[in-house]
A = this chain, B = another copy of it.
Amino acid sequence: MKTSRGRFFEDYAVGEVIAHAVPRTLSGGERALYHALYPARGALCSSDEFARRCGLPAAPMDDLIAFHTVFGKTVPDISLNAVANLGYAEGRWLKPVWPGDTLRSESQVIGLRENSNGRSGVVWVRTRGLDQRDEVVLEYVRWVMVRKRDAAAPAPQTVVPDLAPSVAPSDLVLPEGLDFTRYDFALAGERHRLGDYALGERIDHVDGVTVEEAEHMLATRLWQNTAKVHFDATMREDGRRLIYGGHVISLARALSFNGLANAQMIVALNAGVHANPCFAGDTVRAWSEVLDRAETPAPGVGAIRLRLVAVKQAAAPFGLKDAGGKYLPEVLLDLDYWALMPL
């Protein structure tokens, strides 16, 4: 058989390294599409001039372009038969990506645990995105629940990786040359520095976007993500297409500009949960909570750790979980990340 229907749970072995197919050269085209698909306005990724004033040679591609490109390549090998995308950990952006760079991905299987029902299991992978110099630009751990092809297949030995609850500030890697001492707050859009954000402070990002089918499919296809449920309306009984979770991440991150305009680059992904599915017609909003602050060795550059929550429709202000610890039905995303911000 010439076609692939993707891997099933019993096709993974701890330690195996999977080289994912179809490397991709990025250009100003992907950047323009990113700005058409999401209301992204961070000045550092929007303007070559702003980036130069911050010590970079030009505006890097938005950090989430790198993430989606690397992630998309893993889908045919990791999540084509996934029942659920369960979590992220230990994500770090190690090098900015520039127009002209070519990215490819590889994943190492670092954990396996069959579910008690014997019909599926959890697969943990550590994915790396590499550029044309074979340098790692991004790495993260993801775990997904994957169906078994054959329920009778024997369960593998359970290996659950020991994952850090968050990336330590000392492990953050900053773009070479980054310097915020001449940062232009007026051009960036807000005057708030790292010191202006209090631990525990919560920010309602005000704006909302009602999502269309064409938009999320254009985005998901651009990242060469091939999961059928995003494109084929006949896949679900209700005739709806499930929106790629990364689309919600980018929407929420872009919406967080209003209140976090100076959280310029994502440098670490500590954790992430896609709490409920998102469908076309949903109006996505976002709020953030300040989880931590840290200094960095780069001049004028601090780091802010944020919880970014995406919700839909008429969510209660800052609502997240019910009394039983379960995500509220209107919560789409609960993401924990580090970004860089002027001190």
Contact = CB atoms under 8 A, between A and B. Distances in A.
Given A5-B206, A187-B104, A33 B29 contact: yes
A283 B232 contact: yes
Contacts of A195: none
Interface string A41-72: 11100111110000000110000000000000
Contacts of A48: 25, 100, 102, 132
Nearest to A18: B186
B35 A221 contact: yes
A83 interface: no
Nearest to A282: B233
Interface string A123-155: 000000000100000000000000000000000
A28 B99 contact: yes
A230 B208 CA distance: 10
A207 B187 contact: no
Contact of A29 (B28, B49, B207): B28
Nearest to A77: B189
Contact of A41 (B22, B39, B203): B22
A234 B314 CA distance: 9
Interface stretch (A174-182, A212-220, A318-326, A328-336): A212-220
A155 to B, nearest CB: 28
Given A29-B32, A206-B5, A39 B226 contact: yes
Interface stretch (A89-97, A160-168, A257-265, A295-303): A257-265
A208 B228 contact: yes
Contacts of A197: 2
B213 A231 contact: no
Contacts of A228: 207-208
B192 A22 contact: no
A318 to B, nearest CB: 13
A124 to B, nearest CB: 22
A191 to B, nearest CB: 10
A300 to B, nearest CB: 19
Given A2-B259, A210-B233, A215-B217, 12 more contacts: A21-B189, A22-B46, A22-B47, A25-B48, A27-B28, A32-B222, A37-B218, A39-B224, A76-B189, A208-B235, A209-B231, A209-B232
5 contacts: A27-B27, A27-B29, A48-B132, A208-B232, A210-B213
